[in-house]
Amino acid sequence: MLEVRDLRSAYGRIEVLKGVSLDVKAGEVVALVGSNGAGKTTLLRSLSGVQPITGGEILFNGQRIDRLPPHRRVELGITQSPEGRQVFGPLTVEDNLRLGAYRRRDKEIGQDRDRVFAMFPVLAEKRHLLAGGLSGGQQQMLAIGRALMGRPKLLLLDEPSLGLSPLLVDQILDAIVSLRRDGITVLLVEQNASAALAIADRGYVLETGKVAFSGAGSALLADPQVKAAYLGID
């Protein structure tokens, strides 16, 4: 579904992605992990088109997309749920979800909203409240729910567990696993590398702008080098 070939990106003269190649196949959950500043967020932003690239190629279902503006990539089915719970605070939970479906004209919007509510029941309870009054974890759920309302084919998730309690982290990860059952392909950037690799089909470890390791999630979790350097386990 997604093929990234030798991708390069820079902030001014500082190259942050130094030739990254990776694949995401339809129906997979792929985790992208690595230390702070490795370039994970920059990679996701390059895929969604808000960060310019300086080299390489991005293909989506065989089509070159790296020169398309962000909204065209959204139309093709690539949606990013950004880091930092960027919900519309002065709007209700329900209106935030409706905004996620703004491009759609079909009659299944209500059905999809109910699926988001089934996935995150707390959002159903608070559907008429303002998003700005939700807790951090609830805002994160809303941001994911809003992204899902656009019926993405490929969902790019940036740090969905950032700042959440362990219980909420589990809830978000369970939701990601349920997305895979619904046929949504997910590229997941996570600081919480062990948890992400545990649910992922495959993973990539990014180190200073390059892929340092890749493989099945379980294989990376068991790899002594990956464990010592990235998972904090000896």
Ligand X SMILES: Nc1ncnc2c1ncn2[C@@H]1O[C@H](COP(=O)(O)OP(=O)(O)OP(=O)(O)O)[C@@H](O)[C@H]1O
Q: Which residues bind ligand X (CB under 6 A)?
A: 11, 16, 34, 36-42, 191
Nearer to ligand X, 13 or 181 (CB): 13
Give min distance, CB of 155 to ligand X, in A. 17
Give min distance, CB of 127 to ligand X, in A. 31
Nearer to ligand X, 149 or 189 (CB): 189
CA 97 – CA 100 distance, rounded (Å): 5
Give min distance, CB of 117 to ligand X, in A. 30
Residue 32 near residue 210, CB atoms below 8 Å: no
Give min distance, CB of 93 to ligand X, in A. 27
Q: How big is the CA angle at 23 (ends 139 and 73), to the nearest 5 degrees? A: 55
Nearer to ligand X, 41 or 218 (CB): 41
- E strand segments, the chain: 2-11, 14-24, 29-33, 55-60, 63-64, 78-81, 154-158, 185-189, 202-207, 210-216
Nearer to ligand X, 83 or 112 (CB): 83
- Structure tokens belonging to residue 23: 């694949």
Residue 129 near residue 91, CB atoms below 8 Å: no
Q: How big is the CA angle at 112 (ends 107 and 113), to the nearest 5 degrees? A: 105
